[in-house]
Amino acid sequence: MEQYTVLAGLYDEYMNDVDREAWARYAMNCISRAAVGRNASVLECGCGTGAVTIPLKKAGYNVIGTDISDDMLAVAVENARKAGLLIPFVRMDMRSLSVHRPVDVVLACCDCVNYLTSPEDVRAFLRSAHDVLKIGGVLLFDVSSRYKLEYLLGNYCYNDSREDSAYLWQNNYDPESSLIEMRLEFFVRSGEACRPGEKPLYERHTETHIQRGHTQEELTAWLDEAGFASVRAFDAFTFDPPRADSERIQFFAVRAR
């Protein structure tokens, strides 16, 4: 299933209403709570276009950005180049992470774990993250809560348009499987020149994204099973306990053995 292909080139434009610098600051606040230094090594999973990777590098962390989408990585490389930074970006499946030497932090922001749509896939990621961390290293990831997927995204349709593109976004949530299917149709202005007086041409593209609403109880149990300790969950962007209506939950876990 093709994901983050056409969307990769539009992602930053359509995410411009999200304070991703604040997201990066929160990630750094989480890292600061761990027993790692300011120049800690960070392996970021699902780095996308580098919106969190780049601020981490600017703050002094030794960060590697990974993603399964070549298109998103290409945008990340260009964004880092524009920022004057040299950051290694590597295509990697978060279910089978690989590093030359153990790292201090494994980080996965903005729904990466929701894209793991089965318990087996989540367990594979947690085991893999455990194996690439140093003893005492920290795993940080957030998820969109089941409450958000079912009641806020649910069976809704969204749309947006910009100068050269537009999208339609239709959701379908299945409460039995806790899966949400998000069908996105993009209309992107064609690069072909138009004759004087003609309306511009738009190319239509479709992507389907599927996420699962993992519960806090499931994730806590799977973290314990993978060998993590000091597992904590927060209402994301705070250090308060999650609420029943929390839209995003942040997890913090330490490799103990």
Tell me which long-range contacts 24-29 makes (C-beta under 8 A, separation of at least 24): 24/51, 24/52, 24/55, 24/56, 25/55, 26/236, 26/237, 26/250, 27/52, 27/56, 27/107, 27/109, 27/140, 28/55, 28/56, 28/59, 28/61
69, HSE (Cβ side, Cα atoms, 13 Å): 24
Q: What pTM was computed for the model?
A: 0.91
Average pLDDT in the 209-217 region? Answer: 97
CATH architecture of the domain 148-212 equals Single Sheet (2.20)
For the chain, what percent of residues have pLDDT higher than 70?
A: 90
pLDDT digits (tens, 9 = 90+) for 111-149: 999 999 999 999 999 999 999 999 999 999 999 999 999
- The span from the CA of 206 to the CA of 65, in Å, is 26
pLDDT digits (tens, 9 = 90+) for 38-92: 789 999 999 999 999 999 999 999 999 999 999 889 999 999 999 999 999 999 9
Question: pLDDT band at 228, cuts 50/70/90?
Answer: very high
Mean pLDDT across the chain, nearest whole number?
90
What are the structural domain ranges in the chain? Answer: 6-144+214-255, 148-212
Nearest to 63 by CA among 42, 77, 78: 42
Of the listed ranges 36-45, 137-146, 168-177, 212-221, the least confidently predicted one is 36-45
What pLDDT sits at residue 196? 63
What pLDDT sits at residue 56? 95
What pLDDT sits at residue 112? 95
Residue 6 has pLDDT above 90, yes or no: no
Residue 36 has pLDDT above 80, yes or no: no
What pLDDT sits at residue 207? 86
What pLDDT sits at residue 203? 81
Residue 253 has pLDDT above 60, yes or no: yes
Q: Any idea which fold 6-144+214-255 has? A: Rossmann fold (3.40.50)
